[in-house]
Structure 1
Amino acid sequence: MSGRTVFLDGRRVTLAELPLKGGGQAAVFPVVGDDGIVVKLYREAPGLKEELRLKRMLTMSPLVTRPTDASQPPELAWPTALARGPEGEFLGYAMRRFGEPQHVQLIGLFTRAQRLKLFGDRADWRFLLGVAWNLAFMTARMHYDDLVIGDFSSSNVVVDANGFVTFLDCDSIAFSDPATGELFPCLMHTTDYSSPERQAGGPATRATDEFALAVLVYQLLTAGNHPFGGVPHDSASESTVKDNIAASISYVVRPERVIMPRGTIDPSVLPPELLALARTAFGPGVHDPATRPSAEAWLRALDKERALVRVCPARPLHAFGSHLTACPWCTRAALTGHDVFNVPVVVPGPGVPQPGPPVPTPGEPWPTGLKVALLILAVMILVVIVANA
């Protein structure tokens, strides 16, 4: 069944009856017979300011001058045409379509079930590190072009199978008209990624983007853990992420102050330079925007780590930082029975024989934990032999 008819730069198109997604202010519809574009329609009649914003955006081409890989999608779902009704009334805009299965929301990388469903065995820690690098690069490049993301969250970014990222909802980006200097601010924000000054009604700035970027990078490198999760020990009621941000309470900086959610990954999985950036962002950087690490600082640190990633010889899907001497994911799986990146670990019940230790691939070093286990086993056998002699 077809929906309403709209005009894109005078070209008549028909929208699907049901939207792909919808929010409080707008809904995004597929175009019948054209899978390459979607149309975002505002629920309330947009004013002249919104129409002028989109018109100005159509004269701009941000990020198009930088060289990219041939397989890389655009980093911005930039408006391509205004959408108007039969009487010429402004309704919204068209943009290129970035949807499943080719592109999935960044939030899909934050849970093990979604990672396996959407990316299979590709989304190991090395992949997440690469996505974080792409996210930092996009942020730095947008700031270089004098664009402020503003509403920066895990729901406004999509990822493809190669880890490339694309920012959606570009109509909320803050920018100044290159021709007139007129400022078009960002009026939207997502609380779990909003710095205290943004929560208090302050404008979107590079510093507010840098706060959101720090949260997203940390979530990626810990397979989904929010750095402001948990409940403070002195909290009189259930504390939210927004509350913890406002109070500058992060277990990454002050773990003794927070009852952490069950299953929280230890911050030490982050390489030292990245952990130092995180602790600056979630410590002094919460209330002092000037001290927050820049997108460029994250980019440099992430770039350095990409060349140093180690792979577990026992489980090839376990990648981790070069600062660690043993695989953190194997250790975690042994302690909890839950493998963050591989298939579920089955904990045998009473009377069921335990599986033997994993055997390293020939030619690769034996993991430290396995060396210790075998040494203990050898000593126990020797003791038994001596006792029975």
Structure 2
Amino acid sequence: MNGYRIPGRRAVEIVKDELLGDGMEGEVYPIADNSAVCAKIYTSPHDDVIDRVAALVGLPPARWDGDHPAHFHVAWPQAPLVDERGRPCGFVMPRIAGLPLEMLGDARGRHQALLEPTWRELLVIAARVAHLFDMLHDVGVVVGDVSLKNVMVTPTGHVTLVDCDTVQFTAPGGRLFRTPKFTPEYAPPEADQLVHRPSTPAQDSFGLAIMICWLLMEGQNPFAGVLTDASLPDDVQQNVMSQNNRLLWPDRFVPMEGELPVEVLPPEILALARRCFAEGHHDPAARPRPGEWVAALNRAQYRLMGCRENPMHFYSASLPSCVWCARIAGGLLDEYPPRSPLVPPGPAAPVPQQPAGVPAQPQPEQPGIGAARVVAIALLLVLVVAIILAVMSG
């Protein structure tokens, strides 16, 4: 044993020679006798971090169930840890399966990450991310550090928020724990004021809108790209501040090779995104809330067209024809190619430094009709017809 334990309970053996992930604040390791959980050990734990963890373990998300037994909506701290001297040093949390959401920006990453790497599945995943934000806001939690790296996705498309010890929340005693950091590429125009005031759900809503556009537009951040005004810097955060957005003013950007038209977004999704980045730029209250995204994305799933040429191609019914086939005809690569039956899904490269390890639940096979059953049914039908004819002739 290496001296770690849960206060008032038992010792915890941490496998220090198997690093699952690391960051500025600490490192994540497996726990020897329980593959369903892991431990985060802080590099330099200070009082605010220790108080934060102690408060987090008592909040509702610590008791949330997932969409199925092996899934968690959040990698929430479950119990604090102390070292051999009894000093707080980290916490125990669920060990999460899957890969970071940022893997889904291109065909190769989608085939590594998902069992069904289609655009229809991306709509489902986007709705699940929005639902996750909606659940957190309902219990007074603000994500704050919105980022594709902080959401994991399983092969079946289920999502989990990681890095949960950085969220903003109010402890039962009334103390506000603010989020200590944010990712500039997903931060709203008021980001420069975040260091001086608490984060808000509207801040999350801005980052969520960027994530949804990114998922549905082949990894294109609507604020990223080279500006036509060469005197301005090509900086995503500065573009957010200046409201330089491809969905609103595409003429401000130099066209990118293979750039998707904004019409690939279903009309209702495009309208929500434009509302967020237009009125919502100056008025945070105008930004669509996560629940609005959930409803719109779910409706969009029922308004899809399938492609006659490729069963992996799905597109919005608002388009006259398959956008993916049109891109192939224009000389671009197929973003949703058929999966080879000889190549199962799974990471071909080392998994990025995030906690991972719980195997995804196998999907039950659908019962089929075997050849023998088909023959039996055919013979039964012949017999029935013969009986009917015999009765009629008699």
How would you bin the TM-score normalised by the shorter chain?
0.7 to 0.9
Residue 72 of structure 1 and its aligned partner are, at CA, apart by 6.3
Residues 259-290 of structure 1, C-alpha deviation per residue, up to 9 Å, x if partnerless? 14332211110011110111122223223212
Alpha-carbon distance change, 188 to 162 in structure 1, aligned in 2, over 3 angstroms: same
| 1:334 is aligned to 2:329 | yes
Task: Quote the Cα distance in structure 2 between the aligned partners of 1:173 and 1:196.
Answer: 20
- Are the aligned partners of 1:229 and 1:261 in contact in 2 as well (CA < 8 Å)? no
Show the counterpart of 1:302. 297
Distance 2:70 2:262 in 1: 31
What is the rounded CA distance, in whole Å, between the counterparts of 2:79 and 2:192 in structure 1?
Answer: 32
Contact 1:252/1:267, CA 8 A, preserved across alignment: yes
Shift of 1:80: 1.2
Q: Is the CA contact (8 Å cut-off) linking 1:63 and 1:141 kept in structure 2?
A: no
Moved more, 190-199 or 87-96: 190-199
Measured after TM superposition, the shift of residue 330 of structure 1 is 0.4
Q: In the alignment, what sits opposite 1:351?
A: none
- Report whether the alignment pairs 1:96 with 2:91: no
Structure 1 residues 181 and 317, CA gap change in structure 2 (3 angstroms): same
Is 2:49 the partner of 1:54? no
Shift of 1:174: 0.8
Indicate conservation of the 8 Å contact 2:64/2:72, yes or no. no
Q: Is the 8 A contact 1:78 1:170 kept in 2?
A: yes
**Would you say the 8 A contact 2:31–2:37 is kept in 1?**
yes
Q: 1:341 to 1:19 in 2, by over 3 A?
A: same
Cα shift at 1:245: 1.2
Q: Give 1:18 deviation, angstroms.
A: 4.2
Instruction: Please say if 1:24 is aligned against 2:21.
Output: no
Write 1 or 2 for the structure with the bigger share of strand: 1
Can you list the C-alpha shifts for 1:112-162, whole angstroms capped at 9, x where unaligned? 211112225x12011000001111111111111111111111000011122
Question: d(CA) in 1 for partners of 2:192 and 2:331?
Answer: 37
**Share of identical aligned residues, percent?**
30
Is the 1:6–1:15 Cα contact (8 Å) retained in structure 2?
no
Structure 2 Cα separation of the partners of residues 216 and 91 of structure 1: 33
Q: Does residue 142 of the first structure (1) align with residue 119 of the second (2)? A: no
Structure 1 ranges of 4+ moved more than 6 A: none
1:183/1:104 CA distance change after superposition, 3 Å:
same
Kindly state the Cα deviation for residue 64 of structure 1 after the two structures are TM-superposed: 4.6
Whether the aligned pair in 2 keeps the contact of 1:250 and 1:283 (CA below 8 Å) is no
Q: Distance in 2 between matches of 1:211 and 1:293?
A: 8
Aligned positions, number = 335
Asked if 1 retains the 8 angstrom alpha-carbon contact of 2:114 and 2:156, the reply is: no
Distance, in Å, in 2 between the alignment partners of 1:190 and 1:69 is: 28
Partner AA of 2:170 in structure 1: S
C-alpha deviation, 1:302, in angstroms:
0.8
| Whole-Å separation in 1 of the counterparts to 2:69 and 2:26 | 30
Structure 2 contact 310–338 (Cα < 8 Å) conserved: no
Corresponding residue for 2:377?
A: none
* 1:234 aligned counterpart, secondary structure: coil
Measured after TM superposition, the shift of residue 299 of structure 1 is 1.3
Is 1:248–1:287's contact at 8 Å kept on the other side of the alignment? Answer: no
Normalising by structure 2, report the TM-score. Answer: 0.80
Match of 2:166 in 1: 172
Pairwise CA distance, 1:223: 2.5
Please provide the CA RMSD for this pair. Answer: 2.0
Structure 1 residues 164 and 263 mapped into 2: Cα distance closer, same or farther (>3 Å)?
A: same
Residues 261 and 242 of structure 1, relative CA distance in 2, 3 Å threshold: farther
Q: Structure 1: how far apart are the matches of 2:22 and 2:96?
A: 15
Gaps of 5+ in 2: 340-394
Which protein, 1 or 2, shows the higher relative CO under an 8 Å CA cutoff with sep ≥ 6? 2
Letter of the aligned partner of 2:31 in structure 1? Answer: V
Task: Work out whether 1:221 is the aligned partner of 2:219.
Answer: no
Per the alignment, residue 76 of structure 1 pairs with 74
Residue of structure 2 in register with 1:276 after alignment: 271
| Mapping of residues 84-233 of structure 1, within 5 Å | 84-99=82-97, 103-120=98-115, 122-178=116-172, 180-200=173-193, 201=195, 202-233=197-228
Quote how far apart the aligned CAs of 1:62 are: 2.4
